[in-house]
Amino acid sequence: MLINVPHFREILTFVFAITLVSCSGSRNPVVQTGSMQQLLEGQPNFTFEAIGGFDSEGLPVIYIDVDLLEGSLIYAEEEGIYSALFYLDFEVFRLVDDDNVQVIRTGREQHEITGDDRNISDSGDRYRISKIIPARPGEYRVNIVVTDIRSDKRTAYTRNTSIFEPGANKNQITPIRVIGFSDDYPLGVPITTYDIPGRIDSLAFQFYVSRPESDIISYVHTRLLLFESDTDLPLRMSHPMPRQASLPFRGINYSRYDVVEQSIRSLDTETGQILIELIIPLPEKGNYRFEALMSDRQEFDPSASGNYKARDFSPRSRFFPEVKSVREMARALAYLQTSNQNEELLALESDDQIKMEMDRFWIDNLKNSNMARSIINLYYTRVEEANKQFTGIKEGWMTDMGMIYILFGPPWYVDRFHDRIRWIYGYDSNDPYRVFHFRRSRMESRSFPFNHYVLIRDQFYHTVEYQRRQDWLNGIVLTRPF
């Protein structure tokens, strides 16, 4: 649908259907990935995006969207009401050149979060703040600092963005802003992260293009790619080490993908700034890239145009990082069940059947309902913590680090090396049965924002893994941590 808005702006909106076309390629551009969620103990936890674009009047602006984890703040109670206070400090700099930085806007805001639920301090809900900062065309750096007033702990992040010169006599394109929609957010909520919870129903990808007056038709290309990636449970600890070219080791293969959908729209008479909005239903779990290209060619060829932007993202479970649905909880039992047991559990048709079999599994092993409740609470708390700490290419509980964390708990000591991490459970760092080594499969970069570590496996871990599973199933894990 093409809607004309006088002089300043037009908006082009179209909706994707989902189809699959297999392709492969070797291009690996620098793309937007959103913020990677990090669990910072004792500090405010937030993510944010800064996207250069234009407002409804066609004026250049920077959209700043902040998502603060409510449960990461310190709360005080007064007459049954729990409250947290924090400062939001922001700075916007225009990068004139390498030696010249201009301060465009600074500010401090105080915010308060309140509620009558005492569990608000453990809440996974997000407190959202959005700002629109007027700006001139150029390159920008945005700093955000969140300070918990009660603890005086603070967290800071920086993002760079840009706004093109609308009067330039050439085709141009802005970075991509992502908006999520659901029954809870019918008007949409900005998405600041790589991870997208499954309770989001659909996504809108918004960006501006600029087209000067010209007799040459311009084309706006869009594609949605699904990369080949590791979405399976981790290999057993005693399994042979995966080959370096395999998905369990690499995590994701950007050179192989399916084209889920592609579209092309021609711009013939439209000029000026044009808002493009692409709406898709939230796809199945996986690692995706939304691409946008503006060129004078009908073929999708980013190498022939500098007007290419992309945004990577990954849909997660419905209540991510929490695990609440019956089937999610059943699948997470894979570390305590054999492969056949877990497959049979998940093959049951109804959630009620799965719930009944899960209850039977716990009671048959632990023989005590009170102990079973304590074990279940500990186990799924570990699953949620693993999601918060180790999510990257796939949900954190499904990673090698997540598997070890769930079964054995937080390591006593952590040693970090150039491309390896060592987790030590005890005082003897030479005890092979209480030390786990992880190897980083690839260095983190702008185009690969993941800390993807692979457990260095060995056959002697078979006994360690089996014994630890028994510790969970007979309740020893409650009284004798690893």
Q: What is the mean pLDDT of residues 221-230?
A: 96
Task: State the Cα torsion 343-241-465-463 to the nearest 10°.
Answer: 120
Helix (H) or strand (E) segment spanning residue 221: strand 218-229
- Residue 22: pLDDT above 60? no
Rounded to a whole number of angstroms, the CA Rg of the chain reads 25
Which of 12-16, 174-178, 404-408, 423-427 is the least confident region?
Answer: 12-16
- Could you tell me the pLDDT band of residue 19, with boundaries at 50, 70 and 90? very low
- Residue 252: pLDDT above 60? yes
Q: What is the mean pLDDT of residues 349-361?
A: 95
Amino acid 150: pLDDT: 95
* Helical axes 351-366 vs 339-347, angle rounded to 10°: 140
Q: What sections of 219-350 are H helices per DSSP?
A: 247-250, 326-331, 339-347
- Could you tell me the pLDDT band of residue 446, with boundaries at 50, 70 and 90? low
Amino acid at 186: P
- Could you tell me the pLDDT band of residue 16, with boundaries at 50, 70 and 90? very low
Amino acid 441: pLDDT: 87
Cα–Cα distance, 93 to 477 (Å, whole number)? 52
Average pLDDT of the chain is: 89
The overall longest dimension of the chain from CA atoms, in Å, is: 79
- Residue 337: pLDDT above 70? yes
Beta-carbon contacts of residue 144 (< 8 Å; ≥ 6 apart): 46, 48, 64, 66, 88, 89, 90, 156, 157, 158, 159
pLDDT: is 301 or 179 the higher one?
Answer: 179
Amino acid at 329: M
Task: Reduce the DSSP state of residue 385 to 3 states and report it.
Answer: helix
Strand runs (DSSP E) across 316-450, as ranges? 413-416, 420-424, 435-440
- 8-12, 120-124, 143-147 — most confident range: 143-147
Asked if the peptide bond before residue 240 counts as cis, ω within 30 degrees of 0, the response is no
- Residue 7: pLDDT above 60? no
Amino acid 30: pLDDT: 60
Cα–Cα distance, 231 to 248 (Å, whole number)? 9
Instruction: Sketch the domain layout of the chain as residue ranges.
Output: 2-315, 326-479
Cα–Cα distance, 273 to 270 (Å, whole number)? 9
- Residue 27: pLDDT above 60? no
Cα–Cα distance, 233 to 328 (Å, whole number)? 13
Predicted TM-score (pTM) of this structure: 0.89
Burial class (CB in 10 A: 0-12, 13-18, 19+), 151: middle
- Could you tell me the pLDDT band of residue 54, with boundaries at 50, 70 and 90? very high
Q: What is the mean pLDDT of residues 456-462?
A: 94
Amino acid 444: pLDDT: 73
Amino acid 378: pLDDT: 96
Amino acid 197: pLDDT: 86
* pLDDT digits 0-9 by tens, 113-142: 999 998 888 888 899 999 999 999 999 999
Cα–Cα distance, 399 to 282 (Å, whole number)? 23
The token pair at 216 is: 């040459």
